Amino acid sequence: MTLHSSSAIIMRTWEFGESDLMVSFFTPKGGCLKGVAKGARKSRVRFANCLDLLCFTRLEYEQKKEDGLYFLHSGILIHAFPGLRADFSSLSLASYMIELTEILFPVGVAAERMFDLLQGALSALDEEKQIDSFRILFEAKAMTLGGYGIDLSRCCVCGRTYQGEGRALFRRGKGGIACLKCGQESERSPGLGPATVNALNAIQSTSWDTSQALGLSASMIREIKPVLKHHIEYRIGQRLKSAEFLSG
């Protein structure tokens, strides 16, 4: 049996048996994994505060026989993100981020960049309450890492290259933008100004820190929000449960 040691973010926990805890945790190398922490509800020594929801933790674990489950041996808390927990809207957004991660990265898929994104987003939420802006950054980046980036390079109807000028509109069926010769802005095909298209392009292709430094304007946020809402609903095919607790 190989003993693994990895940083991990605690995604979900539920009671298991009399004193055990079942834990779903996200790791850079293994993606989303599930493990049993034996006796974790009785003895808090081996897992002192490190199996709480959303905690950033270092875990030691080994694979159980065949069922894909892991045995958690011990853990050390790295960061509990207390600022994020103190605020309902921050906590709701964090739960939504966890759910989107679980849908985009199923069990066992390696996801180092997604791990960095999730950790960066939780750290940012812990320090600042920029709910709308952080939600947009996370959604656009997570969808891109999951293989669903929005194609901003050309009109998805006529194929004309988008030069970074003029308004465009979002076509959810194509997962891309169209020029105004090929369509009309509407509620289902929300419009985007050139500054917004360029900002979204930057968000999709840069690190969390770089795109956080972009400083999205209120009008960019207003334009990107419905685009990502339509895009995620269309691609993922269901309304995320935790999205109901987020306004807008």
Q: What is the DSSP letter of 160?
A: P
Task: Give the footprint of Zn ion on residues 92-151 (CB under 5 A).
Answer: none
Q: Does 202 bind Zn ion (CB under 5 A)?
A: no
Token pair 């994104």: residue: 117
**Quick check: 180 binds Zn ion (CB under 5 A)?**
no
CB nearer to Zn ion: give 120 or 191: 191
Closer to Zn ion by Cβ: residue 137 or 179: 179
Which of 22, 53, 80, 157: binder of Zn ion (CB under 5 A)? 157
Give 20 or 151: the residue with its C-beta nearer to Zn ion. Answer: 151
Q: Minimum CB separation from Zn ion for residue 101, in Å?
A: 34
User: Which of these segments, 80-88, 154-162, 216-224, 238-246, binds Zn ion (CB under 5 A)?
Assistant: 154-162
Based on the shown chain and the rule CB under 5 A, indicate whether residue 155 belongs to the binding site for Zn ion. Answer: yes
User: Which alpha helices (DSSP H) does 52-185 contain, by range?
Assistant: 82-85, 88-104, 112-127, 131-145
Burial class (CB in 10 A: 0-12, 13-18, 19+), 41: middle
Q: How far apart are CA 81 and CA 34, in angstroms?
A: 22
* Contact (CB, 8 A) for 47 and 40: yes
Least distance CB 204 / Zn ion (angstroms): 21
Q: Tell me which of 10, 179, 224, 227 binds Zn ion, using CB under 5 A.
A: 179
| Binding flag, residue 197, Zn ion (CB under 5 A) | no
Count the neighbouring beta carbons within 10 Å of the beta carbon of residue 51.
24
Instruction: Give the position of tokens 């109901």.
Output: 244
Contact between 240 and Zn ion by CB under 5 A: the answer reads no
Q: Which of 158, 166, 202, 245 binds Zn ion (CB under 5 A)?
A: 158
Residues binding Zn ion: what is the number (CB under 5 A)?
Answer: 5
Q: Which amino acid is at 88?
A: F
152 is a contact residue toward Zn ion (CB under 5 A):
no
Task: List the 151-155 sheet strands across, edge first.
Answer: 151-155, 176-179, 168-171, 191-192
CB of 92 to Zn ion, least distance (A): 38
Contact 185, 169 (CB under 8 A): yes
Question: By CB under 5 A, which span of 109-117, 172-180, 188-196, 235-243 interacts with Zn ion?
Answer: 172-180
Q: Could you tell me the smallest distance in angstroms from the CB atom of residue 181 to Zn ion?
A: 5
C-alpha distances (whole Å) from 87 to each of 11, 81, 140, 240 are: 18, 11, 23, 21
CB of 185 to Zn ion, least distance (A): 13
Sign of the CA dihedral with 131 first, then 133, 138, and 139 last: positive
Q: Give residues in contact with Zn ion (CB under 5 A).
A: 155, 157-158, 179, 182
